């Protein structure tokens, strides 16, 4: 027996205990002297329409696409008091099926699955429950093998973020002094590489238009190979990856890695002549490093999810679930993706460049400039 | 190294000075910090702390405490309700849903619906049985196998590769794919054993590092065209052939019941480990080395070989967990997330089960129930409550002195029992 024989004395002297007790009680008393409220109303408890969301791993507070989608759900509930929203978090793909089943069992009237990985599971649930409309964020209805299929009560919510990243790439190319810009990603998955494709193409467009030779480090559209830090959490890794690019001469960096991208902003803040571009949200508002950001390539997840929920609500009395919502692809044209204001760099970026970016945006919208990425959502 | 199954037994054989009546003996047993009661009290205390945290984390209940002195009944009722409803929701998600029971009695629900919570509990418990055994077996040899996570990841890849690359009938394909998982896990698990036997490198350090290697290797492997799905663009592997997918045990009742053949393999593995430890020469060697490696060496045992074979066997068990995931719930392909923290949870399972196969199965069932229950009880109950309870339970189990001090228990004959690995 390896157990120790001596007594571990954890008993506290009685007077100390009494003292601690008095302290704790008075603290509790101070905290508990408030007035009793007259009424307890909570949220939209008696709403007639329930919209539910099943998250991917990461949960509703992942500071990334799950959180943005949930913000959209909450915004819908805020706008219409007859809508109640609810979520189920998944910690891995093993949890998708029970969570989707639970939302069905709970009587949800509209179910949103977040993330392309869940597409097969959402589709299967939709086929088993044809009376309920389902939506997939960043994915399309597909069978278990991942082949796209047509299921009438499944709606896709997708974003052609290559378009906003294209503009970001153009701005980066116009602002670099070293002639080198960089981008890197979290994982090599479509919602990440689509930004990197657009960024590189934007830089190439600048080179053609201005006969310049700005180089992009970290991503090759042709071979679809580049720099990834194998996750979305490690800000330390994000910082060292960025410093690596800085030492190779890059002075503008666009991280596409959710929270890990903060590492790039830290690195930019420590190097005077290095700036960064944020993705997904306007980083000037969502991060503490607004002063480092030229702009952001936004993806309007929250707005799209909110619209989907509200549309489903309006069509709740429709004959079939098929009429409840519409497939959605966020583009520059419908405002689903966008380039953020320049904020602190408004005075730095020349009016000429601003005009060019606006012209380019118009050209993308009218189709005279086409941004292509293998990861772009297929238009239907 | 301690053998806890014996602790209560010695107790009963040595009653007090006189033959005391049953009630007194029972009471005496209850107030003693022996390994059984420490486990029981650890569980109870974890649920009490969990209850406090539930009160604190619920916004409405917390708000009732701000006016505690003007209307205390609000806070009392709200606390009572939140505790009752939360634990009931976890119970309903893990064991038996009372609503479904009503509907079943009324004839509107099928037996399959009634069994779903249990099926989910068993499903989530299965990988924990394997990883718990992987850590527990190594404990018995005085080795601390923190590498179960990496071994599981390699087992997952081994099983998957055989699962999609061969074209065989299920009767051959399933055993072959499962065996491939065990072999891949064993090969990876043996590495820290070999390093310890040949260079003296500590298995804790080497197995932790190997976990990182395995996790990053998986990310790389998933991006290769060999492993990456042909049809999906996300970072997900090919899926195993239907002929290699583990059959669901209760599919004849309802196809949505997900518990599969891996559970049977898991229980068989627990029986095998029990037999190995208590009946075989190999097991005798493991325990002898665990008790005293120097004495074992003097007695002519090959310590190095015991390290390698123990770590290899442990790795094989963790590899089976990987096979269970790749061919079971992950049968649409594995991702970087499939392995979750099952390898690390195996450590807590082995601790709670006191490195004893039956105890490990029981502990795995408990944690599986917590996971299934918490998953279905969200979002009213925060999903992290299962992890939280798990952590608190293990904290107390690992520190019997703390439990004894809090509850003023008596020290049993032979002292407090802590499970520990040697070789530090």
Q: Please write the tens of the pLDDT for every residue from A316-349.
A: 877 677 776 678 899 999 888 999 999 999 999 9
Rg, chain A, Cα only = 25
If contacts are CB pairs under 8 Å, which of residues 30-89 in chain A contact chain B? 31-37, 40, 42, 57, 59, 86-89
Rg, chain B, Cα only = 23
Alpha-carbon distance B19 to A53, whole Å? 63
Name, in order, each residue with C-beta under 8 angstroms of A270's C-beta and a sequence gap of 6 or more: none
> Do A49-159+303-330 and A162-298+350-366 share a fold?
yes
Whether B6 and chain A come into contact, CB under 8 Å, resolves to no
β A337-339/A293-299 pair status: antiparallel
Q: List helix spans (H) across A211-340.
A: 235-247, 262-270, 283-286, 301-314
Report CB contact under 8 Å: B379, A87.
Answer: yes
Cβ(A162)–Cβ(A375) under 8 Å? yes
Smallest Cα distance from B247 to chain A, Å: 16
Q: Nearest CA to B353 among B262, B268, B273?
A: B273
Report CB contact under 8 Å: A98, B336.
Answer: no
With a cut of 70, say whether residue B422 has pLDDT above it. Answer: no
With a cut of 90, say whether residue B171 has pLDDT above it. Answer: yes
- Report, at the CATH architecture level, how domain A49-159+303-330 is classified: 3-Layer(aba) Sandwich (3.40)
Name, in order, each residue with C-beta under 8 angstroms of A356's C-beta and a sequence gap of 6 or more: A170, A174, A209
Residue-wise DSSP of A265-297? HHHHHHSTT-EEEEEES-HHHHSS-GGGEEEEE
Alpha carbon separation from A160 to A148, A169, A223, B399 (Å, rounded): 18, 15, 20, 54
Report CB contact under 8 Å: A1, B417.
Answer: yes
**Positive/negative CA dihedral, A168, A186, B159, A57:** negative
**Positive/negative CA dihedral, B413, B418, B422, B424:** negative
Q: What is the pLDDT of residue A47?
A: 80
Q: What is the pLDDT of residue B18?
A: 66
CATH of domain A162-298+350-366: 3.40.50.2300
If contacts are CB pairs under 8 Å, which of residues 391-420 in chain B contact chain A? 401-402, 404-406, 411, 414-418, 420
Angle at B3 between CA B2 and CA B9, to 5 degrees: 130
Rounded to 10 degrees, what is the CA torsion of A347, A351, A356, A360? 50
- For chain A, the structural domain boundaries read 49-159+303-330, 162-298+350-366
Of all helices (H) and strands (E), which one includes residue A298? strand A293-299
Note down pLDDT in tens along chain A; length 380 residues.
Answer: 344 444 444 444 555 555 565 665 555 555 555 556 554 444 566 788 999 999 988 788 777 788 889 999 999 999 999 999 999 998 888 899 999 998 998 889 999 999 888 999 999 999 999 999 999 998 888 887 778 888 889 999 999 999 999 999 999 999 999 999 999 998 888 889 999 999 999 999 999 999 999 999 999 999 888 999 988 888 899 999 999 999 999 999 999 998 889 999 999 999 989 999 999 888 898 888 999 999 999 998 999 999 999 989 988 877 677 776 678 899 999 888 999 999 999 999 999 999 999 999 999 999 889 888 888 886 54
Q: List helix spans (H) across chain A.
A: 14-31, 65-79, 96-105, 119-128, 162-175, 190-210, 235-247, 262-270, 283-286, 301-314, 351-366
Report CB contact under 8 Å: B335, A92.
Answer: yes
Q: Which residue has the higher pLDDT, B34 or B148?
A: B148
Nearest to A189 among B124, B235, B415 (CB): B235
Q: Domains, chain B, ranges and CATH?
A: 1-94+378-424 (no CATH), 127-373 (1.10.3470)
Q: Which residues pair with A86 in a beta bridge?
A: A52
Q: What is the pLDDT of residue A18?
A: 58
With a cut of 80, say whether residue B2 has pLDDT above it. Answer: no
Helix, strand, coil shares of chain A as percentages rounded to 5? Answer: 45, 20, 40
Alpha-carbon distance B378 to B380, whole Å? 5
Alpha-carbon distance B321 to B309, whole Å? 19
């Amino acid at each position: 027996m390896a157990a120790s024989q001596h007594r571990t004395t954890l008993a506290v002297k009685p007077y100390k205990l009494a003292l601690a007790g008095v302290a704790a009680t008075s603290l509790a008393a101070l905290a508990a002297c408030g007035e009793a409220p007259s009424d307890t109303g909570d949220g939209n408890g008696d709403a007639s329409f329930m919209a539910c969301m099943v998250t991917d791993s990461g949960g509703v507070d992942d500071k990334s696409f799950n959180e943005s989608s949930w913000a959209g759900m909450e915004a819908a509930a805020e706008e219409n008091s007859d809508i109640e929203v609810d979520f189920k978090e998944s910690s891995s793909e093993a949890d998708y099926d029970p969570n989707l089943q639970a939302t069905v069992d709970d009587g949800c009237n509209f179910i949103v699955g977040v993330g392309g990985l869940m597409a097969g599971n959402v589709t299967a649930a939709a086929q088993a429950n044809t009376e309920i409309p389902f939506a997939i964020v960043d994915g399309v209805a597909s069978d278990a093998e991942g082949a796209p299929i047509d299921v009438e009560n499944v709606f896709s919510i997708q974003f052609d973020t290559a378009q906003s990243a294209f503009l970001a790439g153009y701005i980066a190319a116009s602002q670099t002094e070293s002639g080198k810009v960089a981008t890197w990603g979290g994982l090599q998955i479509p919602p990440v590489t689509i930004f990197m494709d657009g960024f590189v193409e934007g830089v190439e467009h600048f080179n053609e238009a201005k006969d310049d030779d700005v180089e992009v480090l970290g991503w090759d559209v042709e071979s679809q190979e580049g720099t990834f830090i194998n996750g979305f959490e490690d800000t330390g890794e994000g910082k060292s990856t960025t410093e690596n690019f800085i030492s190779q001469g890059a002075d503008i960096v666009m991280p596409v890695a959710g929270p890990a991208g903060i590492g790039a902003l830290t690195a930019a803040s420590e190097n005077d002549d290095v700036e960064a571009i944020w993705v997904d949200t306007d980083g000037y508002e969502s991060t503490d490093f607004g002063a480092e950001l030229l702009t952001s390539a936004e993806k309007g997840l929250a707005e799209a999810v909110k619209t989907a929920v509200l549309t489903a609500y309006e069509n709740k009395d429709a004959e079939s679930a098929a009429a409840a919502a519409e497939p959605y692809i966020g583009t520059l044209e419908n405002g689903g993706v966008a380039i953020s204001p320049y904020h602190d760099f408004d005075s730095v970026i020349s009016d000429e460049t601003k005009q060019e970016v606006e012209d380019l945006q118009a050209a993308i919208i009218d189709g005279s400039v086409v941004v292509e990425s293998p990861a772009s959502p297929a238009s239907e | 190294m301690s053998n806890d199954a014996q602790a209560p037994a010695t107790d009963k054989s040595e009653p007090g000075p006189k033959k005391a009546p049953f009630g007194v003996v029972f009471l005496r047993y209850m107030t003693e910090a022996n390994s059984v009661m420490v486990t029981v009290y650890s569980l109870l205390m974890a649920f009490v702390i969990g209850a406090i945290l539930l009160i604190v984390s619920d916004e409405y209940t917390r708000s009732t405490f701000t006016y505690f002195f003007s209307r205390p009944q609000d806070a009392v009722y709200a606390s009572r309700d939140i505790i009752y409803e939360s634990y009931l929701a976890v119970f309903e998600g893990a064991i038996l849903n009372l609503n479904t029971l009503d509907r079943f009695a009324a004839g509107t629900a099928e037996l399959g619906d009634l069994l779903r919570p249990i099926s989910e509990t068993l499903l989530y418990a299965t990988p924990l049985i394997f990883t718990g055994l992987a850590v527990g077996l190594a404990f018995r040899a005085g080795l601390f196998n923190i590498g179960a996570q990496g071994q599981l990841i390699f087992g997952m890849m081994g099983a998957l590769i055989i699962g999609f690359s061969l074209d065989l009938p299920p009767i051959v394909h399933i055993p072959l794919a499962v065996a491939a998982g065990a072999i891949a896990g064993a090969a990876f698990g043996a590495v820290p054993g070999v390093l310890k036997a040949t260079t003296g490198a500590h298995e804790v350090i080497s197995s932790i590092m190997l976990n990182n290697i395995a996790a990053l290797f998986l990310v790389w492997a998933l991006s290769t065209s060999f492993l990456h799905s042909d049809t999906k663009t996300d970072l997900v592997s090919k899926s195993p052939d239907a002929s290699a997918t583990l059959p669901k045990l209760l599919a004849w009742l309802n196809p949505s019941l997900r518990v599969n053949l891996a559970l049977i393999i898991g229980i068989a593995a627990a029986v095998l480990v029990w037999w190995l430890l208590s009946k075989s020469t190999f097991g005798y060697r493991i325990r002898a080395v665990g008790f005293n490696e120097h004495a074992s060496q003097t007695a002519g045992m090959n310590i190095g070989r015991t390290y390698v074979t123990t770590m290899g066997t442990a790795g094989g068990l963790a590899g089976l967990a990987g096979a269970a995931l790749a061919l079971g719930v992950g049968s649409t392909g594995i991702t970087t997330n499939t392995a979750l923290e099952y390898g690390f949870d195996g450590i807590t399972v082995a601790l709670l089960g006191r490195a004893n196969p039956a105890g490990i199965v029981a502990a795995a069932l408990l944690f599986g129930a917590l996971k299934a229950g918490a998953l279905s009880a969200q979002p009213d109950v925060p999903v992290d409550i299962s992890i939280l309870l798990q952590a608190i339970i293990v904290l107390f189990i690992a520190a019997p002195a703390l439990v004894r001090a809090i509850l003023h228990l008596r020290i049993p004959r032979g002292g407090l029992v802590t499970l520990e690995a040697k070789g530090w």
